[in-house]
Chains A and B, each alone.
Chain A
Amino acid sequence: MRALCMLLLWPLLLAAQTPAPRSGLEFASADVRALQADDFANPGMLWVARGEKLWNTPAGRSATSCAGCHREAPVSMKGVAARYPRFDREAGAVLNLEARIKRCRESRQQAEALPHESEDLLALTAYVAHQSRGQSLVPAKDVASVAARERGREQYFRRQGQMNLACMHCHDRLAGRKLLSDTISEGHGNGYPAYRLEWQALGSLQRRLRACFTGVRAEAPAFGAPELIELELYLVQRAGPLRVETPAVRR
């Protein structure tokens, strides 16, 4: 009987043990939070505005704009960013949002490729992701993503770099503590692309992840590398029901 009770209570106990994930916003100072809360003062909104312009501008040999195929982004792109990365049948690979946008740009618009971290790719990604603001992240369920996410999870717990630290050492064990002048957060990616005051610009989640690699003196994978996509996949699952904040403001 006692065993049965334990079995029945098990899910409840688990829920009680794992505290709800907290967005990086909760670890930010009051002035940074105020900046993110004000859609005019939030400097990331400049990239969103730029993305909206690009969305409506014909480009490439197709002379078609994103709007030419996808119409109104607030309708067609709502919730899209919340379910990336995911497997893309046409590409035969797991793509993050940037990679998905790059594909449309190159193969559908037949326009010159937008380099990683270019202003235009950041602007389009921010604009598309902004349409999902307030929506909970949805981990991909397809077979390829599940396998890739498992590799991302292993990576998250693997020590690396000259400092021999895993992501987990900072973002699970030391969240809320200081690292130099930074407050370490739980390391969730729900606000990206985000405006970091340190960068004085908007940047992608991969840019932030690469900074964490460099921080422990490990070699950072190149933008778009499978290792980074795998980490992104695991971060979505780890972030649980957190909502998209794009464009977030961070220190």
Chain B
Amino acid sequence: MLARIQVPAQAKRGEIITIRIAIQHPMETGYRPDHFGRRIPRNVIHTLVVRFAGAEVFRADMGSGVSANPFLQFHVRAEAGGEFTFDWVDDTGAKGSERATLNVV
């Protein structure tokens, strides 16, 4: 699953930084019929978890109301350097992940 993440490479201690992630995904609602009138099964990214240095800092539980190619943004206070890990999973069990390192000066 293709995704783009935006994490500043560097921040000052105590600074509030913006983290953004966009994932290419149809977020199929489960309510749409295909060309033959059959229901397309629901398939959404239901869980996205972001950890910083191993500790969870952000979690999104998503449903069929979220648009395709979801774009999420949140803020964290940079106390120390470390690695962000992004992990998500959809209804078919397909998983995706990304990581990025933050340096605090």
Real binding pair:
yes
- Chain A: residues with CB nearer than 8 A to chain B? 40-41, 43, 45-47, 49-50, 53, 197, 200-201
B10 in the interface (beta carbon within 8 A): no
By a CB distance below 8 angstroms, the chain A residues around B71 are 40-41, 43
Taking CB as reference atom, which chain A residue is nearest B22? A46
Most buried by B among A43, A45, A49, A50: A43
A43 contacts across to B, CB distance below 8 A: 22, 68-69, 71
A-B complex: 7 closest residue pairs judged by Cβ atoms: A200-B68, A46-B24, A43-B69, A50-B2, A40-B6, A40-B20, A41-B71
When chains A and B are docked, how far (Å) is the Cα of A200 from the Cα of B28?
10
**Closest B residue, CB atoms, query A47:** B24
Task: Select B4's contact among A45, A197, A200, beta carbons within 8 Å.
Answer: A45
- Contact status B26-A200, CB under 8 Å: yes
Pairs A–B under 8 Å by Cβ, sample size 27? A40-B4, A40-B6, A40-B20, A40-B22, A40-B71, A41-B20, A41-B71, A43-B71, A45-B4, A45-B22, A46-B3, A46-B4, A46-B22, A46-B23, A46-B24, A46-B69, A49-B2, A49-B4, A50-B2, A50-B24, A197-B67, A200-B26, A200-B67, A200-B68, A200-B69, A201-B68, A201-B69
Min CB distance A161 to B, Å, is 22
Once bound together, how far apart are the Cα atoms of A53 and B4, in whole Å?
A: 13
Residues of B in contact, count (CB < 8 Å):
14
**A207, chain B: closest CB distance, angstroms:** 15
Interface centre among B3, B6, B24 (most CB of A within 10 A): B24
B90–chain A nearest beta-carbon distance, Å: 15
User: Which chain A residue lies CB-closest to B67?
Assistant: A200
Q: Which residues of A contact B23 (CB under 8 A)?
A: 46
With the chains together, A200 CA to B27 CA distance in Å? 9
Chain B residues near A53 (CB, 8 Å)?
Answer: 2
Given A40-B22, A50-B2, 16 other A-B contacts at CB below 8 A? A40-B20, A40-B71, A41-B22, A41-B71, A43-B68, A43-B71, A45-B4, A45-B22, A46-B2, A46-B23, A53-B2, A197-B67, A200-B27, A200-B68, A201-B26, A201-B69
